[in-house]
Amino acid sequence: MSTLVRLGYVAMSVQLQNASPSQTMTFAQFQRIQNREAAISKLERISISNLENCLRLLKHNVWSEVEFFRLSSKLIPLANHPEISDWNYMNALKPVILEIRQFLERNPMRVDFHPDHFVVLNSTNKDILKHSLETLQMHKKLLKGMGILPKNRCVLHVGGAYNDKEKALEQFIHNWGLVPHSIQEMIMLENDDTTFSVQDALYLCEKLNIPLIFDLHHHQANHENPDWTEYWSRIVATWEQEKLPLKMHISSPKSSKDFRAHADYINAEEFYQFLQSISGTIPQIDCMIEAKQKDAALFQLMNDLKTYERIEIVNGSTFIVK
């Protein structure tokens, strides 16, 4: 039995120069421009530049044989700011979004988002929940504009513990009933490194029918039971009804002292040991690399894995583990 493994990286390339998809503009900067039309025009120029750089990154991925990529959630600054609610950003950015759509139609790859930490679905604060849902709506609009089916495209953490973890988990379940079905379908939940463990995330995923993104590094930092294999069949089961392959996050600790921080690269030996444990349990797994060196970390890991005899390289980012 073997498993196909596809590697991806996050949002930015260290190999492409001047290709940031996350250039920003604060509301304070927006307000300093006295002419509102000029301010919106600048906002549109920044957004277009971000989207053009996103397209450059997608082209870089095709050239590098990378078929899995996390889009930046900062593509459109101030998209949901209440003071600029009259800005029809999707209309203004339509030509470049269409270009991305056409490129992805010609060059299919798995792309998704990991919205920022302020997107919290278990908050008791109605304004925070409202803003979180608006931000997820923005992600949905972008996905649809790019011709990507929104299902299972947004990774979220469970949220805050608010001094009572059990209550916070139940608050997530309560708030889930307030989330529109079209947004619910987008969500995948991830175990985090400080509060909500794999066991906590599984509780919600199994109850609410949400796929679980297993983060191995987070599990090592935050767990009830250190042996992740105890949870593996349950993790796999959360993906059984989904069309996309099971997805996980991989990263390595920066140091034993700074264990939660991400290292520049991935520890190939540790990853290989993990792969040996899961080989044959699923036909395919997509592993998102969260490392400081972004795409360079992916290429380095592929290079490192070539030396292992039970690895068969398929292309620049994909291999079979036997």
Name the band, by pLDDT with cuts 50, 70 and 90, for residue 254. Answer: very high
Residue identified by tokens 């302020």 is 118
Q: What is the pLDDT of residues 192-211, one digit of tens each?
A: 999 999 999 999 999 999 99
The Cα 103–Cα 132 span in angstroms is 29
Question: Quick one: CA dihedral 64, 65, 66, 72, positive or negative?
Answer: positive
- For residue 37, the model assigns a pLDDT of 95
| pLDDT of 73 over the 90 cut | yes
Angle at 110 between CA 108 and CA 115, to 5 degrees: 135
Six-digit token string for 20: 């940031």
- For residue 198, the model assigns a pLDDT of 98
- For residue 186, the model assigns a pLDDT of 98
Q: What is the pLDDT of residues 37-53, one digit of tens each?
A: 999 999 999 999 999 99
Measuring CA to CA, which residue among 12, 173, 34, 188 is closest to residue 112? Answer: 188
The Cα 160–Cα 155 span in angstroms is 15
- For residue 227, the model assigns a pLDDT of 97
Residue identified by tokens 């890991």 is 301
Q: Regarding beta strands 3-10 and 68-70, do their DSSP bridges make them parallel or antiparallel, or are they unpaired? A: parallel
Name the band, by pLDDT with cuts 50, 70 and 90, for residue 237. Answer: very high
Mean residue pLDDT of the chain comes to: 97
- Domains plus CATH for the chain? 3-321 (3.20.20.150)
- For residue 27, the model assigns a pLDDT of 97
Measuring CA to CA, which residue among 119, 109, 111 is closest to residue 183? Answer: 119
Are 156 and 208 contacting, i.e. CB atoms less than 8 angstroms apart? no
Q: What is the mean pLDDT of residues 112-119?
A: 96
Name the band, by pLDDT with cuts 50, 70 and 90, for residue 1. Answer: confident
Name the band, by pLDDT with cuts 50, 70 and 90, for residue 162. Answer: very high
pTM for this one?
0.97
Name the band, by pLDDT with cuts 50, 70 and 90, for residue 158. Answer: very high
Name the band, by pLDDT with cuts 50, 70 and 90, for residue 278. Answer: very high
Six-digit token string for 261: 């921080």
CA distances from 118 to 12, 21, 114, 282 (A): 21, 19, 11, 33
Q: What is the mean pLDDT of residues 157-179?
A: 97
Are 2 and 283 contacting, i.e. CB atoms less than 8 angstroms apart? no
